[in-house]
């Protein structure tokens, strides 16, 4: 392990970590990084941050669900995370009669806690497996290496798998394939909902405030992890007991001030800080604009139905929130990459690299090869986005496309009756889940719109053969919106997917012809097969070549600057990281200053009774007007602090991450980034980057004063 990063260096200029940039591996903090943390205000030792032999902060940090972070905050396995991370579980626990998503929910004792389908994972240990991986792919070219890697990974992770104790291994590639680390996780499967504020609190500000500061969102939810009596992971059972954790975070209600130390642990999902200028250009000109336009359309039609009916709103809530979140992100990312001239900065550095690489066969052609690779793929990039974000953006089309595996089983020779039965059963179960989540009115409009957008915006040579010709022959002018509306209406009226009798007949005696003639399957299948047969191989070749070039490029960068052995960190890849910085105000533009905190005063200023995004529970408005803040009031402001901002470096996956002070006490939960720095996946801005956090005092106030769940407060270790 100590050899892990000896050969990995970060160069000056473009790749040098600035002030608070960096998502560091807490188990491998270099002395320079640790010393910098201490200078900024850290009071803990390295072993208190991460230890294998003793309990440490890392033992309180969990992967929550499939893509968020959570933290253990009591000796009874209590979890804090974001409201949007628990959103799906809250929605699933809700009904029209007991709408916990709308009204909020708190368990006043453990018997009232609600079962969920969530899992959480604790980091058990890490192992450097670079030598084993490299030996497993030794002598292979890049294409062969890529195919072999998963097999090599499995041979390594199988050695640590322990089903009884919930242990599994996961191997992460660091620095574009220059290093490999295996993380061993322990997974717990009995996770119960303990509390959540009303949606009007947890999503206060909605899409308008998303990625924006000032922010007044109570973005938190509460769960608990259960285990067997001897602490082992298990499926849900009434016999299970709250987990006794190795470590939990104390909760500070002392308050914060501008300049205070801030540390964030979590599982950032993905960055590409070593992206090339070619990648920035493709993202800015094709990928992001396409995604934004298609998601904008989908959100429009979903929102139209959600505001009409509370049941529809509940049904679509989780899907809508996910689509909206990154709709705004990618729109902002393009604007900031353009504003900061990221393409020009990347290109200037690459020109220096190319000049250095002359006469060095291993490196001198890297960027000419990059250009060839992008030239070969770029003409098809938009088609791929329109398939993924457009055609498959229709829930009906996405489900119909999933039936391609059933079609394959029906047409393929040698498929046993048992295998076919399994495919049919899988399709039948998936249909039931699809129908429960489906909203026909919005989906019908989405399907009509995406079919027209694909026709208008994608080169005709890339259209599925015969689809639009057939549509024109039956419905008329392909430039007329009415054509697509008529067609989509017929698809929805005639597909067996919505017809129980037709579906029952089909699954009783499944035939390929019946499936292929279904209008929904014909639509989805035409576009999906068009992509998989023609363009998927091109995309795979593009990605593989890019990865091969990226590995060589980073290796060359290191050789080019051997004296620049400075602080460095690998791209985020959903492995545990720690970032550090300070609570800090900022000036986003000329003559504008943003304070480092928001307060209840701002909530009341934004509040609009009955508004979709800015409504509040009546009792909250009353309590805030009375200034009934209790022990959670900020002594300096004489108000209730709602949110604050820090200079920490985070990204998606950090949602729900604990924000801690220099002593490791919880002071807030990270939940967003600011719009002025949405280029952060590609390029970190040291001046404008801010992490938006909900203040833990507001969380506790909502639990205690608004929710009346004093039992939860009593379970915490409060630091005053």
| Interval 39-69: pLDDT, tens | 999 999 999 999 988 999 999 999 999 899 9
Is 219 considered catalytic here? yes
Which stretches of 149-245 are assigned E, i.e. beta strand?
167-174, 179-188, 190-196, 221-227, 241-242
Which pLDDT does position 567 carry in this prediction?
64
At residue 419, the pLDDT reads: 93
pLDDT > 50? residue 701 = yes
Choosing from 83, 84, 216, 680, which is the catalytic residue?
A: 84
Neighbours of 128 (CB within 10 A): 17
- What is the rounded average pLDDT of the residues 488-515? 97
Of the candidates 557, 546, 682, 569, which has an alpha carbon nearest to the alpha carbon of residue 13? 557
Would you state the pLDDT for residue 30? 81
Q: How many Å is the maximal CA-CA distance in the chain?
A: 76
| CA distance to 42, 48, 254, 262, 698, per residue, from 718 (Å) | 20, 19, 9, 18, 14
pTM of the entire predicted model = 0.88
Whether 98 is catalytic:
no
Please give the structure tokens belonging to residue 709: 């769940």
Could you say which of 36, 190, 209, 219 is catalytic?
219
β pairing state of 251-252 and 718-719: parallel
- pLDDT (0 to 100) of residue 563: 59
The answer to whether residues 525 and 516 touch, using CB atoms and an 8 Å cutoff, is: yes
Torsion of CA 604, 608, 614, 617, to 10 degrees: 70
Determine the Cα–Cα distance for residues 320 and 199; give it in Å rounded to an integer.
14
Pairwise CA distance, residues 720 & 718, whole Å: 6
Which CATH number describes the domain made up of 13-119+189-270+574-719?
2.40.10.120
Query: What's the Cα-to-Cα distance from 287 to each of 274, 279, 572, 682, rounded to whole Å?
Result: 18, 10, 21, 14
pLDDT recorded at residue 2? 32
By the 10 Å C-beta count (0-12 exposed, 13-18 middle, 19+ buried), 308 is classed as exposed
Among the listed ranges 306-315, 319-328, 402-411, 627-636, which one has the minimum average pLDDT value?
319-328
Q: Determine the Cα–Cα distance for residues 208 and 576; give it in Å rounded to an integer.
A: 31
Among 655, 680, 685, 704, which one carries the catalytic annotation? Answer: 655
Q: In angstroms, rounded to a whole number, what is the distance separating the alpha carbons of residues 67 and 656?
A: 10
Backbone φ/ψ region at 139: left (φ over 0), alpha (ψ -120 to 50), beta: left
By DSSP bridging, strand 179-188 and strand 167-174 are: antiparallel
**91 CB-side CA count, 13 A:** 22
Contact 110, 242 (CB under 8 A): yes
Residue owning tokens 């390594």: 156
- Cα 526 from chain centroid (whole Å): 30
> What confidence tier does 16 reach under pLDDT thresholds 50, 70, 90?
very low
Q: What is the mean pLDDT of the chain?
A: 94
Give percent of the chain above pLDDT 70: 97
Mean pLDDT of 185-197: 98
Q: Domain limits of the chain?
A: 13-119+189-270+574-719, 277-537
pLDDT digits (tens, 9 = 90+) for 449-483: 999 999 999 999 999 999 999 999 999 999 999 99
d(Cα 520, Cα 100) in Å, to the nearest integer? Answer: 35
- Residue 9 predicted with pLDDT over 50: no
CA dihedral 459, 460, 463, 468 (to 10 degrees): 140
User: Which of 9-13, 33-37, 128-132, 509-513 bottoms out in mean pLDDT, i.e. has the lowest?
Assistant: 9-13
pLDDT at 564: 54
DSSP reduced 3-state for 330: helix
Closest CA to 316 of 304, 301, 328, 306: 306
The percent of residues above 90 in pLDDT, for the chain, comes to: 89
585 tagged catalytic = no
What's the pLDDT tens digit per position in 103-144? 999 999 999 999 999 999 999 998 999 999 999 999 999 989
Q: Which value, to the nearest 10 degrees, does the dihedral of the CA atoms of residues 342, 344, 345, 348 take? A: 160
């Amino acid at each position: 392990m100590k050899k892990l990063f000896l050969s990995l260096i970060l160069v000056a200029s473009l790749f040098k970590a600035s002030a608070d940039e960096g998502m560091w591996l807490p188990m491998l903090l270099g002395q320079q990084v640790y010393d910098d943390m201490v200078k900024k205000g850290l009071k803990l030792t390295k072993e208190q941050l991460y230890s294998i032999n003793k309990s440490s902060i890392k033992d309180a940090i969990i992967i929550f669900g499939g893509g968020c972070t959570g933290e253990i905050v009591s000796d009874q396995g209590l979890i804090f995370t974001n409201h949007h991370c628990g959103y799906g579980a809250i929605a699933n626990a809700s009904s029209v009669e007991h709408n916990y998503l709308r009204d909020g929910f708190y368990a006043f004792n453990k018997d009232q806690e609600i079962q969920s389908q969530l899992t959480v994972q604790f980091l058990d240990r890490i192992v450097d497996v670079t030598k084993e991986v490299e030996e497993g792919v030794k002598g292979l070219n890049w294409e062969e290496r890529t195919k072999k890697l998963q097999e090599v990974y499995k041979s390594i992770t199988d050695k640590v798998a322990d089903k009884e104790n919930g242990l599994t291994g996961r191997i992460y590639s660091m620095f574009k394939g220059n290093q490999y680390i295996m993380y061993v996780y322990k997974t717990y499967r009995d996770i119960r909902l303990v509390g959540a504020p009303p949606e009007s609190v947890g999503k206060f500000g909605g899409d308008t405030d998303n990625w924006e500061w000032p922010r007044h969102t109570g973005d938190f939810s509460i769960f608990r992890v259960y285990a067997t009596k001897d602490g082992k992971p298990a499926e849900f059972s009434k016999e299970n007991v709250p987990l006794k954790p190795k470590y939990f975070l104390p909760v500070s209600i002392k308050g914060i001030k501008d300049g205070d130390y801030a540390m964030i642990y979590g599982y950032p999902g993905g960055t590409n800080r070593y992206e090339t200028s070619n990648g920035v250009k493709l993202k800015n000109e094709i990928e992001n604009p396409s995604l934004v336009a298609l998601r904008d359309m989908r959100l429009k039609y979903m929102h139209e139905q959600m505001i009409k009916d509370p049941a529809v709103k509940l049904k679509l809530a989780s899907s809508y929130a996910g689509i909206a979140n990154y709709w705004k992100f990618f729109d902002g990312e393009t604007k900031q990459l353009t504003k900061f001239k990221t393409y020009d900065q990347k290109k200037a550095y690459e020109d220096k690299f190319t000049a250095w690489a002359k006469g060095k066969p291993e490196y001198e052609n890297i960027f000419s090869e990059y250009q060839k690779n992008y030239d070969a793929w770029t003409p098809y990039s938009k088609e791929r986005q329109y398939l993924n974000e457009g055609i498959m953006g229709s829930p009906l089309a996405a489900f119909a496309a999933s039936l391609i595996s059933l079609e394959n089983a029906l047409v393929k020779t040698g498929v046993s009756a048992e295998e076919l039965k399994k495919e049919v059963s899988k399709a039948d179960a998936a249909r039931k889940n699809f129908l429960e989540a489906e909203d026909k009115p919005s989906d019908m409009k989405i399907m009509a719109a995406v079919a027209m957008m694909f026709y208008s915006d994608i080169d005709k040579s890339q259209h599925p053969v015969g689809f639009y010709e057939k549509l024109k022959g039956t419905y008329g002018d392909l430039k007329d919106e009415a054509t697509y509306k008529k067609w989509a209406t017929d698809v929805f009226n005639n597909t067996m997917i919505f017809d129980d009798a037709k579906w029952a007949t089909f699954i009783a005696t499944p035939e390929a012809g019946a499936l292929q003639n279904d209008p929904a399957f014909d639509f989805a299948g035409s576009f999906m097969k068009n992509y998989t047969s023609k363009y998927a191989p091109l995309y795979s070749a593009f990605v593989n070549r890019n990865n091969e070039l990226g590995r060589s490029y980073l290796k060359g960068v290191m050789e080019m600057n051997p004296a620049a052995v400075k602080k460095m960190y690998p791209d985020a890849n959903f492995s545990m990281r720690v970032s550090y910085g300070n609570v800090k105000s900022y000036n986003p533009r000329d003559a504008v200053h943003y304070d480092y905190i928001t307060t209840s005063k701002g909530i009341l200023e934004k509040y609009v009774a009955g508004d979709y995004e800015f409504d509040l529970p009546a009792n909250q408005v009353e309590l805030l007007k009375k200034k009934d803040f209790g022990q959670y009031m900020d002594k300096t402001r004489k108000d209730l602090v709602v949110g604050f901002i820090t200079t920490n470096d985070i990204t998606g996956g950090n949602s729900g991450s604990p924000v801690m002070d220099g002593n490791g006490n919880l002071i807030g939960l990270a939940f967003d980034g600011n719009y002025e720095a949405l280029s952060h996946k590609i390029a970190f801005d040291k001046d404008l980057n801010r992490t938006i956090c909900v203040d833990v005092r507001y969380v506790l106030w909502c639990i205690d004063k608004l929710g009346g769940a004093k039992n939860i407060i009593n379970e915490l270790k409060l630091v005053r």
